[in-house]
Amino acid sequence: MIRIACLLYEGFELLDVAGPLAIFQVAGHQNKEGYVFETVAAARGPVRSMGGLELQAAASLRKARFDTLLIPGGLGARETQNTQALIPFVQRAAEEGRRIVCVSSAAFILAEAGLLKGQRVVMHWGAAPILADRYPGIDVDGAALFARNKNIWTSAGSLSGVDLALAIVEQDFGAAAAAKIAKALLVPFRRSAAQSQQTAASTDVRPDRFDEVMAWARQRLGEDLSLQRLADKAALSVRQFTRAFRLSTGESAAKYVERLRVERARALIESGASAFEEVARKCGFDNAERMRRAFVRTLGSTPRELRRLRKNRNRY
DNA sequence: AAAGACACCCGCCAGT
DNA sequence: ATACTGGCGGGTGTCT
């Protein structure tokens, strides 16, 4: 189960919560392992959305337990007095390497928290100039649909929250799962993060040839998973394998494998007492040092930091 | 700390 | 003609 916490604040956009939630729910029906979805806010209780409807926050920040933090957009996100109380919380989540998913103007909160410096950040074309103006250190992209930097995702907003949720399902359960959900909900499944906001209208639904290979890889993370071996397994040349893989998933095969390994290792580290060396071997990093560097690359923190943070979890 | 070894990535091109 | 394929080479990043 992947735990998603949805962070509410005064003036959030309801659609940015409802759209992704619909996707995650269907994902739960179609996969044995799905998502659990919970709302959190500075305090438990009702939170007013932009349109006036209220949602109940089921947990306060200090009680929140999650793998992925979903932050809806909304005009409220631009008002720092609304979001000030959330800053340490999102900083903490980022430090811990949790996946943080911003729908459109939610990125204002991360920007305010200083988490987007020097990063490429996707924003709705209407709000992009404002973001760029207020936070000069950020590389704002007002044309793409979404982007990912390590564990932080940003997106253009509104219905692209749905695209973003599909991209997350794709990352977690493979492209075929995401395509299936899109089909069930009658929404287009757009693969390309780089697709223009202006032409976001195509219906690109491709069955995926790589799910089987990746499931196979998932079973044996401790073994050699070089491109050569994966390509052999898929009965393709290395060249064709890398090309087709990138085309269909938007990520290179090697990066994908590394991500699987880091995720598994992280789960092991967080769940218990195993020595880093042992975790590293089990997950296909030959030694702890290599694993450490892979963590820094993909999560932004070292295994040791994550374990330490884990211990202090209740102190926000 | 540096340098050689190695894997990966990707544009290019020729073959099917 | 067009799309798909796979080998090559060089640039880049990572490991030891």
pLDDT score at A20: 92
- The pLDDT of A186-194, averaged and rounded, is 61
- For residues A178 and A231, what is the distance between their CA atoms, to the nearest angstrom? 23
Report d(CA A111, CA A134) in Å as an integer: 9
3-class SS at A48?
Answer: strand
pLDDT score recorded for residue A172: 81
With pLDDT > 90 as the criterion, what percentage of chain A qualifies? 38
Which one, of A288, A205, A297, A302, lies nearest residue A257 by Cα? A297
Q: Among A132-146, A147-161, A213-227, A236-250, which stretch is predicted with the lowest mean pLDDT?
A: A147-161
- Give me A205's structure tokens: 């639904």
d(CA A286, CA A278): 9
Task: Please state whether strand C lies within 7 Å of residue A228 at its CB atom.
Answer: no
Check if residue A18 sits with its Cβ under 7 angstroms from strand B.
no
3-class secondary structure, A310 = helix
Instruction: Give the separation between CA A252 and CA A232, rounded to whole angstroms.
Output: 16
What per-residue confidence (pLDDT) applies to A272?
Answer: 73
Q: How far is the CA of A288 from the C1' of C9 (A)?
A: 34
* Whether the predicted pLDDT of A230 surpasses 80: yes
By percentage, how much of chain A surpasses pLDDT 70? 89
Each residue of A5-20: b (16+ CB within 10 Å) or e?
bbbbbbbbbbbbbebb
CA distances from A253 to A111, A149, A226, A238, A245 (A): 31, 17, 9, 10, 6
Element (H, E) at A57: strand A54-57
pLDDT at A311 (0 to 100): 63
**Tokens representing residue A39 in the block:** 């709302």
Residues 206-235 of A with CB under 7 A from strand B: 226-228
For nucleotide B8, the protein residue with its alpha carbon nearest to C1' is: A254
Q: What pLDDT is stored for residue A200 in this prediction?
A: 39
pLDDT at A220 over 50: yes
Q: In whole angstroms, give the CA distance from residue A225 to residue A258.
A: 10
Instruction: Give the pLDDT confidence score for residue A7 in this predicted structure.
Output: 97
Mean pLDDT, rounded, of chain A: 84
CB A289 within 7 Å, strand C: yes
Q: What is the pLDDT of residue A198?
A: 47
Task: Compute CA distances A27 → A1, A184, A187, whole Å.
Answer: 11, 10, 14
For A114-164, the pLDDT digits (tens) are 999 888 888 888 888 899 999 988 888 887 777 877 788 888 865 667 888
C-beta contacts of A218-226 below 8 A and 24+ residues apart: A218/A260, A221/A260, A221/A261, A221/A264, A221/A282, A221/A283, A221/A284, A222/A281, A222/A282, A222/A283, A222/A284, A223/A284, A225/A257, A225/A284
Predicted pLDDT at A8: 96
